[in-house]
Amino acid sequence: MPNFKSRLMITKDSIETAYSFLHQKRNVYIHSSIDWQKDDIEYTIACYVDDMSQELYAHISEGRSDFLRDHTRFSEDITLAVERLEMYLQKSTTED
């Protein structure tokens, strides 16, 4: 788990932003029965992770380069990402 006080590249704001975005998209994704909508969410998330803090991405992906980019594992990955970001937010709050 990253130490957020000693890492300038991973800010609490970047964690909160990623969490909010991924949490919202995950909730739509898991309740959707529309294939094109799920495909759009997968594409949107893949674009988002290309632009997010790569240090944060490395932590939530645990080094997997296809994390949140692999259609066959997307449902599992998005859930893991949200859980990990939530854990990081809880930890960063206790470090404040």
Whether the CB-CB separation of 15 and 59 falls below 8 Å is answered with no
Mind listing the pLDDT tens digit for each residue in 6-38? 444 688 899 999 999 999 999 999 999 999 999
C-alpha separations of 13 from 5, 9, 88 in Å: 13, 11, 12
pLDDT tens digits, residue range 34-57?
A: 999 999 999 999 999 999 999 999
Q: How far is CA 10 from CA 5, 6, 37, 64, in A?
A: 9, 9, 31, 18
Largest CA distance in the chain: 43
This prediction's pTM? 0.85
- Residue 65, both tokens: 């380069």
Q: What is the 3-state secondary structure (H, E, C) of 22-56?
A: HHHHHHHHHHCCCHHHHHHHHHHHHHHHHHCCHHH
Domain regions of the chain by residue span: 19-95
Task: Quickly tell me which residue has 């970001």 as its tokens.
Answer: 85
Higher pLDDT, 61 or 4: 61
